[in-house]
Amino acid sequence: MKKWRCLVCGYIHTGEEPPDKCPVCGADKSMFEEVVETAEATDTAAAQDAPPEAREPPEDPRQVDLGSPPDNTAGKIYHLLVGQMLKHHAHPISTHFPNGVLPISFLFIVLVLISGSTSLSTAAFCNTIMVLLTLPLVIFSGYVEWQHRYKGIMTNTFKLKIACAGIVTAGTLLMAIWWIAAPNILHTASVGRIMFIFISLVTLAAAGVAGLIGGKLVFRD
């Protein structure tokens, strides 16, 4: 059976023809190339017997060559920043903050509804502010990853991920402003409280979907 590699995310498909859409990133059939194995690569026994340091890692189209930096100072600084962010996986690292804190914030909101605790409400508010402060880095590093590691291709997968990022940003910002304007929003039975909880739940769900898509892109096999 032939093997086909997605040129966007590196997913490997086995079959006589490439899939119509990449199941990982959603890239079109035209973005697949056939993987041609050399005699050395097909020698499984030799590959297994070779020491780990002698084995060549599989090619990954997500590896990025930024080329030479521009001549101007601002261009050099941006080139260096982008290179370091890609090298040290700034986006996967930064997304752990909102994806880890948002569930805790929502849990605190639920506990406030049950117990009426003012301190838990304050803790939930502080967590929401922390998420809001980390989002600029998350969004910028995600843009860098998309442009340089995934060629800036606009498939439905990336459209959904971008939409989720927008929902998380808008939802978190709205919650923070609402909390500042009405600190007792969780302590007063009203339609506003129901809407606030709904926004919190939608924000959490969007973060979860974005994390799921990110996981598929990283662990694409």
Spell 72-87 as b/e; 16+ CB within 10 A means b.
eeeeeeeeeebbebbe
- Helix, strand, coil shares of the chain, percent, nearest 5, are 65, 5, 30
Model pLDDT, residue 115: 94
Taking residue 60's Cβ as centre, other Cβ atoms within 10 Å add up to 12
Residue corresponding to tokens 């050395």 = 40
Evaluate whether 101 touches 125 at the Cβ level (below 8 Å): no
Per-residue pLDDT band for 67 (boundaries 50, 70, 90) equals: confident
The pTM of this model reads 0.82
Statement: residue 198 has pLDDT above 70: yes
- DSSP annotation of 68: S
Maximum separation of any 2 CA atoms in the chain, in Å = 72
Statement: residue 58 has pLDDT above 50: no
